[in-house]
Amino acid sequence: MTEAELKKLAPIFAEKIQPVEDVIIAAKVTEEKTAGGILMAKQEGGKVCLRAYVLAVGPGVPDGDNRSEMPCKAGDWVLVSGYAGLELGEAARQILGSQFNGSDVSLMRACDILAVCP
């Protein structure tokens, strides 16, 4: 997915899917562009860190009268483990419509976020 496509998804997720507690919905970016502009798929296997675009964020885990602070917000770019989260896949397509391909979108916990990219 391109960055423009990812940014279009955020309002759709905010309207139709709301994560609970410390769950984050993020689209993993698994392609890299070479200096010449050629898109190459990232190698899977081994230890992989991927960049992801945050589409929606839950309110945080209840902590007494408050909720825990989330490490990111919708619209942030983050780094996650290549193995983090569960792909939404067909479930997302059923909720969001046939034009959506959920294979790159995952539900993950806040602890799966390794870093927030400014």
* Domain that residue 72 falls in: 3-117
Answer yes or no: are the C-beta atoms of 52 and 81 closer than 8 Å. Answer: no
Residue 55 DSSP one-character state: E
Q: What's CA 33's distance to the chain center, in Å? A: 20
**CA dihedral of residues 49, 55, 59, 61 (deg, nearest 10):** -20
Burial of 2 (0-12, 13-18, 19+ CB in 10 A): exposed
Residue tagged 């609970």 (tokens): 20
The residue type at 31 = E
d(CA 71, CA 51): 15
Which residues, 6 or more positions from 19, have their beta carbon under 8 angstroms from its beta carbon?
25, 56, 57, 58, 107
- Give the CATH number of the domain where residue 41 resides: 2.30.33.40
Answer yes or no: are the C-beta atoms of 25 and 105 closer than 8 Å. Answer: yes
Structural domain count of the chain: 1
Per-residue pLDDT of the chain (118 residues; tens, 9 = 90+): 677 777 777 787 778 787 888 887 777 776 655 556 655 545 555 567 888 888 888 888 888 888 888 999 988 999 988 788 888 777 777 777 765 665 578 888 988 899 998 7
